[in-house]
Amino acid sequence: MRGKPASTSCHPQVERLHFLVRWLRSPGLAVHLAGCFLFVTLATVFVDIFERNGAGGNLIWVANGLLLAYLLLAPRWRWPVYLLTGFLALAFGSIFIHEPWRMSLLYSVLDIAEVLLAALLLRRRSAELPRFTNIPYLCRFIGFAVLAAPIAVGLIYAWIMAAGTHTPVLEGFLEWAGPDGLGIAVITPTFVAIFQSDFSDLRRWRQGWPYLALTAAVAVASFSQDRIPLGILIYPLLVVIALRVDLSCAALAMLLVAITGSCYNVRGEGPFIAANSTLLVGPSILLQLHVAAGIFILYSISVVQERKKATERRLQEIASLHKLVTENSRDAIVLINFSGEGNYISAAAESMTGWSREELLAMNGLELLHPEDQSNAVALMSNLHSGVEGGVIEARLRKRSGEFLWVEANLRLVRDPVTGVPTGILKIVRDINERKATEQKLHEIVALHKLVTENSRDIIILADFNGRRSYVSAAAESMGGWTREELLEQGSFGLVHPEDLAKAEAAVNELRSGAEGTMIECRAQKKNGEYLWVEANLHIVRDPATGAPSGILNILRDINERKQAEQKLQEAYSVVEALAVTDALTGLANRRRFDQYIAGEWRRGIRDGKPLSMLLIDADFFKSYNDAYGHLRGDSCLRQIAESCQDVVARPGDLVARFGGEEFAIVLPNTSKEGAVQVANEVCLALRGRQLPHNGNLPGIVTISVGCATMVPQFEKHVHDLIEMADQALYRAKKNGRNQVCGSNPMKIYEDGEQTFTTMESGSSKKA
């Protein structure tokens, strides 16, 4: 534009550049970025520390949840610098734990992609802040951040690992999606609450630090020993903190619990370490469930508090409006003599009727009433003339506009203060037009309520705390066959199945103790004697005047079909679960079950320092057996070998599995080399005792070759080393002529007059 300096054409770009420079120099941003870098780096190193100390199996991935919390609280135009900081922190943490740079780069890129995807799905507008107390937002968070983003990136990771390292796709997917989803679910809301708190509020710190100190003390007392289950005290303490202080202080307390439990898990102490010997999950999983339960409690409390605050705000608005209306509404006050002449009319009459006070004083009151209401007014005036002290009528009053207004007229005799002789009538006229409309609506609501209750498929029962019923809806006749009269005569627990009686009594006692409502599932007896599964929703009924509990509202719903469907689903799931880990031909554990079991025993061996032995068994010349006798006889032969193994292996902790084809594997926890060789020889003798003919084998019967391997599990080794040692021993047994056991320490045994060699070759195991 002419007359304007040339430099002004790029003024917006220059101003934006200057703003960016000022923003980058902002001390507050530098602190936030430094904190982001430090926390993400520590989170990366934290997981490695757990894995190196044996406590990190399936540990949640903390770093992504932290970085997502920063993004959700920062403006979208600041995301690039936060993402760059997070990427550098992830890479630095990976370098610090000596992770290969290629894997470090892959993990860092995928982590940043996952966090960015979750943030974009959640943060549709730059000004939108996270609100985990809002149920729709919480559902979006679970759907997008906890599920969608980890699943999407987990699939990419699984495909990359399958192509590069031949890792099964499902294994790679679960390895990524599970820890990341759980980490985001637990960490992001916690740190959002912590970051949103005002740490400069000294009053909050004075109020909250005793609770934090008490939480730390309870956590230390809970995790430092395994005799007394003090961990249950943490949950009510969190509830108290959330209610007495705020949600951010409760989240900080939960973080203290997680850190304390993690430290004791790393040291191999605490109740979760002790529980690991009896449960199938590791201590880290138990700790994660413990923390997740605490976060879920905080979620629930935050939602309830938000609803409570919203309700209180709404009630305050209604109360303010009500106060405004009552303070500005005035009843009309009219004073007349017995002749009907007006002596005084208050100013409120003008706004109520539209007539001026002078006009109203000049009129007879009966002239303004609706013709249908005049007779009631005349009767009341007659009563007053006869000496009745007062009365109240409701009538329609004609306004200046010609419309009629419902009013309540309270008439009282006015007596001479000296003689006590009636001298006139005081009328206090109140506008009840709104009340009349409300009454009409109330009648409509009552009629609608009756229509709903009488036609609902659910049974609605109203009873007092002693079990006496005052109302039963019509659905009782169609659901249970009982008439309403019969159910009114029954007590609260008269029709409950004996096995569910304690549960029903506990629910009622819970309401008596102050709970507003509860829900149970139980069986109720029908009139024909059969039992029907119902869902009972119990709620406290309060007196509208005093607010005191006056009874219990019970809404019964028929869930019989749902229960049957759940039972069938559970049965089907049990069958599928059993089939998933069982070999169909031999009935032994399959290869999948073998891999799971030996991995678990390897971890147990690392913790206990006890030896772990494995036998790898192969049928000698099985292909020629199949060629000579057919595949049906071959399947029978494999079952005979499986039965021979099961006849020998009798300890509850041992596992016999089909390794693949004609190969079998036996896992012997806490078993020495000599014990493993003894079991191997007994299996060989058990099979020889069956005398299964095999003309293609030199002894003339079916025999097996066995490879024995024994190791004391260590961190620097892997369970695959044990399997490889057993496989090499089996190879030597085949190479040396089959029908023998190979391991270490050469020795010979003789059974049934036939010479059987057990060869034990000395040698060191290969280091991974």
User: Would you say residue 566 has pLDDT above 60?
Assistant: yes
The span from the CA of 36 to the CA of 112, in Å, is: 13
Q: Who has greater pLDDT, 687 or 513?
A: 687
Alpha carbons 57 and 284: distance in angstroms, whole number: 7
More confidently predicted of 683 and 188: 683
The two domains 332-435 and 456-564 share their CATH topology (first three levels equal): yes
Task: Tell me what pLDDT residue 222 has.
Answer: 79
Does the pLDDT value for residue 760 go beyond 50? no
CATH architecture assigned to 332-435:
2-Layer Sandwich (3.30)
Please tell me the predicted confidence (pLDDT) of residue 17.
Answer: 47
Helix (H, G, I), strand (E, B) or coil at 453: helix
Query: What's the pLDDT at 491?
Result: 66
Q: Higher pLDDT residue, 46 or 683?
A: 683
Residue 655 CA, distance from chain mean position: 36
HSE, side-chain direction, 13 A CA sphere, residue 14 = 5
Per-residue confidence (pLDDT) for residue 455, from 0 to 100: 66
pTM of the model: 0.38
Residue 734, judged by CB atoms within 10 A of its CB (0-12, 13-18, 19+), counts as middle
Q: Is 618 helix (H, G, I), strand (E, B) or coil?
A: strand
Amino acid at site 170: L
In the chain, what are the helix, strand and coil shares in percent, each to the nearest 5? 60, 15, 25
Secondary element (H or E) of residue 708: strand 704-711
- Cβ atoms within 10 A of the Cβ of 651, count? 11
- Structure tokens of 707? 């490879």
Q: Does residue 381 or residue 322 have the better pLDDT?
A: 381
Half-sphere exposure of 502 (CA within 13 A, CB side): 1
Question: Are 497 and 524 spatial neighbours (Cβ–Cβ below 8 Å)?
Answer: yes
Q: How far apart are the first and last CA of the chain?
A: 75
String of b and e for 549-588 (b: at least 16 CB within 10 Å)? Answer: bebbebbbbbbeeebeeeeeeeeeeeeeeeeeebbeebeb
Write down the residue that tokens 């390897």 correspond to. 602
Tell me the pLDDT band of 280, cut-offs 50, 70 and 90: low
Lowest mean pLDDT, pick from 80-94, 273-287, 442-456, 571-585: 273-287
pLDDT, tens only, 132-147: 777 788 788 888 888 8
d(Cα 355, Cα 359) in Å, to the nearest integer?
Answer: 6
Residue 708 has pLDDT above 60, yes or no: yes
pLDDT of residue 513: 81
Residue 734 CA to its chain's centroid (Å): 55
Give residue 430's pLDDT: 81
Distance CA 629, CA 422 (A): 127
Among the ranges 465-474, 537-546, 668-677, which has the highest mean pLDDT value?
A: 668-677
Note whether 678 and 741 are within 8 A (CB). Answer: no
β 741-743/704-711 pair status: parallel
Residue 245's pLDDT band (cuts 50, 70, 90): confident
If you search the block for the tokens 């084809």, which residue do you land on?
661
Q: Cβ atoms within 10 A of the Cβ of 477, count?
A: 16
By the 10 Å C-beta count (0-12 exposed, 13-18 middle, 19+ buried), 205 is classed as middle
User: Up-side HSE of residue 271: CA atoms within 13 Å toward CB?
Assistant: 16
Across the range 312-328, mean pLDDT stands at 66
Q: What is the pLDDT of residue 556?
A: 79
87-91, 227-231, 584-588: lowest mean pLDDT where?
227-231
| pLDDT band for position 59 (cuts 50, 70, 90) | low
- 340 vs 155, which has greater pLDDT? 155
Contacts for 490 with CB less than 8 Å, ≥ 6 apart? 469, 482
> Does position 586 have pLDDT exceeding 80, yes or no?
yes
Q: Is the dihedral of CA 660, 665, 667, 673 positive or negative?
A: negative
Confidence of residue 516 (pLDDT cuts 50, 70, 90): confident
Residues 40, 37: Cα–Cα separation, whole Å: 5
Q: Which two tokens stand for residue 311?
A: 């309700």
pLDDT confidence tier of residue 453, bands split at 50, 70 and 90: low
- Between the alpha carbon of residue 564 and those of residues 92, 533, 717, the distances in Å are 55, 9, 50
Give the Cβ contact number of residue 271 at 10 Å: 23
pLDDT confidence tier of residue 758, bands split at 50, 70 and 90 = very low
Per-residue b or e along 370-395, where b marks 16 or more CB atoms closer than 10 Å to that residue's CB: eeebeeebeebbeebeeeeeebebeb
Q: Which amino acid is at 536?
A: A
SS3 456: coil
Per-domain residue ranges of the chain: 26-196, 200-327, 332-435, 456-564, 581-760
Check: CB of residue 625 under 8 Å from CB of residue 703: no
Helix (H, G, I), strand (E, B) or coil at 764: coil
Q: Average model confidence (pLDDT) for the chain?
A: 78
More confident residue, 286 or 557: 557
pLDDT level of residue 284 (50, 70, 90 thresholds): low
> CB–CB of 622/634 below 8 Å?
yes
- State both tokens at 677: 């060789």
What's residue 637's pLDDT?
Answer: 93
Question: Taken in order 149, 155, 160, 166, is the CA torsion positive or negative?
Answer: positive
Q: What is the pLDDT confidence band of residue 205, given thresholds at 50, 70 and 90?
A: low
- Between 16-25, 64-73, 329-338, the lowest mean confidence (pLDDT) is in 16-25
The fold for domain 456-564 equals Beta-Lactamase (3.30.450)
| pLDDT tens by residue, 399-428 | 888 888 888 888 888 888 788 788 888 888
CATH code for the structural domain at 26-196: 1.10.1760
Alpha helices (H) along 331-432 = 348-353, 357-362, 374-385
For residues 505 and 522, is the Cβ–Cβ distance under 8 A?
A: no
- Determine the Cα–Cα distance for residues 264 and 272; give it in Å rounded to an integer: 9
**pLDDT-based confidence at residue 492 (cuts at 50, 70, 90):** low
What six digits make up the tokens of 296? Answer: 């879920």
Question: Would you say 606 and 713 are in contact if contact means Cβ atoms under 8 Å apart?
Answer: yes
Please say if the pLDDT value at position 629 is more than 80: yes
Give the integer Cα–Cα distance in Å for 397 and 258: 72
CATH superfamily of 581-760: Reverse transcriptase/Diguanylate cyclase domain (3.30.70.270)
CB atoms closer than 10 angstroms to residue 164: 12
- pLDDT confidence bin for 296, thresholds 50/70/90: confident
